[in-house]
Amino acid sequence: MSDDRLIVALDVPDAISGLAVAEKLGDAVGFYKIGLGMLTGGGLALANELKSEHGKRIFLDMKLFDIGATVEAAVSGLAQFDLDFLTVHGDPHVVRAAMNGAAGSSMKILAVTVLTSLDRADLDAALIRDGDIPDLVRIRATRAFEAGADGVIASPQEAALIRALPEAEDRLIVTPGVRPAGAARGDQKRVATPAQAISDGADHIVVGRPVWTASDPRSAAEAILAEIRNV
CB 133 within 8 Å of CB 123: yes
Q: What does the alpha-carbon distance between residue 44 and residue 121 come to, in Å, rounded to a whole number?
A: 34
Helix spans in the chain (H): 15-25, 43-52, 68-79, 92-102, 120-125, 133-146, 159-163, 194-199, 209-212, 217-229
Q: What does the alpha-carbon distance between residue 5 and residue 209 come to, in Å, rounded to a whole number?
A: 17
Q: What does the alpha-carbon distance between residue 10 and residue 104 come to, in Å, rounded to a whole number?
A: 28
List Cβ neighbours of 162 (8 Å cut-off, separation of 6 or more): 113, 137, 138, 141, 152, 154, 168, 173, 201
What letter represents residue 73's amino acid? Answer: A
Strand-pairing partners, residue 109, are 86
Query: Which one is catalytic: 33, 51, 56, 63?
Result: 63
The answer to whether residue 63 is catalytic is: yes
CB 99 within 8 Å of CB 109: yes
Looking at the annotation, which residues are catalytic? 63
